[in-house]
Structure 1
Amino acid sequence: MDGNRWATIAGFAGALLVLGVLVWVVGVDRTLAALLMADPGALAVVVGIAAVWLTSWGLALWAVLRALGSEVPAHTAILVYAAAVFSNNVTPFGQAGGEPLSALLISSAADSEYETGLAAIASVDTVHFVPSVGYAIVGFTFVAAGAVRLGRNLVFAAVAVAVLAVGLPVAAYMGWRYRYELEAAVVNLFTPLVKLFGRVVPRRSPPTAAVIETRIESFFAAIDRIATDRETLLQTLGFSALGWACLAASLWTSLYAVGHAVPVATVLLVVPVGSIASMVPLPGGSGAIETVLVTLLVSTVPPLSGPAAASAVLIHRSATYLLPTLVGAGVASALGADRAAASAGE
Structure 2
Amino acid sequence: MDGGTRAKVAGFVGATAMLAALLWVAGVDDVVAALGQASLPVVGLVVAVALCWLLAWGLALRTVLGGLGIPLSVPRSFLVFSGAMFANNVTPFGQAGGEPVTALLISRATDSEYETSLAAIASVDALNFVPSIGFALMGVAYMATEVTFDARLEYAAASVGALAVALPAVAYVGWRHRYRVERAAVRVVTPVVQLVGRLIPRRSPPTADALERRIDGFFRTIERVGADRRTLLLALAFSALGWFAQMCSLWLSLYALGHPVSFGAVMLAVPLGSVAGVTPLPGGLGGIEAVLAALLVPTTGLPLATVSAAVVVHRAATYLLSTAIGGGVAVASGAADAE
Question: Equivalent residue for 1:344?
Answer: none
Question: Equivalent residue for 1:230?
Answer: 229
Question: Equivalent residue for 2:168?
Answer: 169
Which stretch of the first structure deviates more once superposed, 136-145 or 188-197? 188-197
- Counterparts of 1:317 and 1:140 in 2: how far apart (Å)? 23
Aligned length in residues: 339
Shift in Å, 1:113: 0.4
1:159-206 Cα distance to aligned partner (Å, 9 max, x none): 221233111221222222222112111211222222222332232222
Answer yes or no: is the 8 Å Cα contact 1:183–1:213 preserved in 2: no
Question: Equivalent residue for 2:270?
Answer: 271
Please say if 1:337 is aligned against 2:327. Answer: no
1:39-80 Cα distance to aligned partner (Å, 9 max, x none): 111100000000111110001111111111111211111100
- Equivalent position amino acid for 1:99 in 2: E
Question: Equivalent residue for 1:20?
Answer: 20
Specify the SS of the correspondent of 2:258.
coil
Specify the SS of the correspondent of 2:204.
coil
- Counterparts of 2:135 and 2:213 in 1: how far apart (Å)? 38
Shift in Å, 1:118: 0.5
Question: Equivalent residue for 2:279?
Answer: 280
Shift in Å, 1:87: 0.2
Specify the SS of the correspondent of 1:146.
coil
- Equivalent position amino acid for 1:127 in 2: L
Answer yes or no: is the 8 Å Cα contact 2:42–2:253 preserved in 1: yes
Question: Equivalent residue for 1:220?
Answer: 219
Which stretch of the first structure deviates more once superposed, 330-339 or 102-111? 330-339
1:93-148 Cα distance to aligned partner (Å, 9 max, x none): 11111111111111111110001110110111111111111111111001012223
Question: Equivalent residue for 2:311?
Answer: 313
Question: Equivalent residue for 1:297?
Answer: 296
- Counterparts of 2:33 and 2:106 in 1: how far apart (Å)? 42
Shift in Å, 1:247: 0.5
- Equivalent position amino acid for 2:160 in 1: V
- Counterparts of 1:340 and 1:185 in 2: how far apart (Å)? 37
Distance change (3 Å), C-alpha of 1:97 and 1:306: same
Specify every segment of 5 or more residues in structure 2 that has no aligned partner in the other structure, as ranges: none
Please say if 1:4 is aligned against 2:4. Answer: yes
- Counterparts of 1:116 and 1:315 in 2: how far apart (Å)? 36
- Counterparts of 1:197 and 1:276 in 2: how far apart (Å)? 30
Answer yes or no: is the 8 Å Cα contact 1:115–1:216 preserved in 2: yes
- Equivalent position amino acid for 2:8 in 1: T
What's the C-alpha RMSD, in Å, of the aligned pairs?
Answer: 1.1
- Equivalent position amino acid for 1:35 in 2: L
Specify the SS of the correspondent of 2:145.
helix
Answer yes or no: is the 8 Å Cα contact 2:123–2:222 preserved in 1: yes
- Counterparts of 1:223 and 1:181 in 2: how far apart (Å)? 14
- Counterparts of 1:181 and 1:227 in 2: how far apart (Å)? 17
Aligned pairs for 1:1-346 (under 5 A) are 1-148=1-148, 150-302=149-301, 304-341=302-339
- Counterparts of 1:29 and 1:120 in 2: how far apart (Å)? 45
- Equivalent position amino acid for 1:11 in 2: G
Specify the SS of the correspondent of 1:207.
coil
- Equivalent position amino acid for 1:82 in 2: S
Which stretch of the first structure deviates more once superposed, 320-329 or 164-173? 164-173
1:286-339 Cα distance to aligned partner (Å, 9 max, x none): 10100010010001122x000000000010000000111000001111112223
- Equivalent position amino acid for 2:185 in 1: V
Answer yes or no: is the 8 Å Cα contact 2:190–2:212 preserved in 1: no
1:192-229 Cα distance to aligned partner (Å, 9 max, x none): 22222233223222222221111111111111111111
Specify the SS of the correspondent of 2:120.
helix
- Counterparts of 1:324 and 1:208 in 2: how far apart (Å)? 38
Specify the SS of the correspondent of 2:259.
coil
- Counterparts of 1:190 and 1:278 in 2: how far apart (Å)? 24
- Counterparts of 1:286 and 1:218 in 2: how far apart (Å)? 34
- Equivalent position amino acid for 2:283 in 1: G
Q: Structure 1 segments of 4 or more deviating over 4 A? A: none
Which stretch of the first structure deviates more once superposed, 196-205 or 88-97? 196-205
Which stretch of the first structure deviates more once superposed, 153-162 or 40-49? 153-162
In the superposition, the TM-score normalised over structure 2's length comes to 0.97
- Counterparts of 1:76 and 1:262 in 2: how far apart (Å)? 36
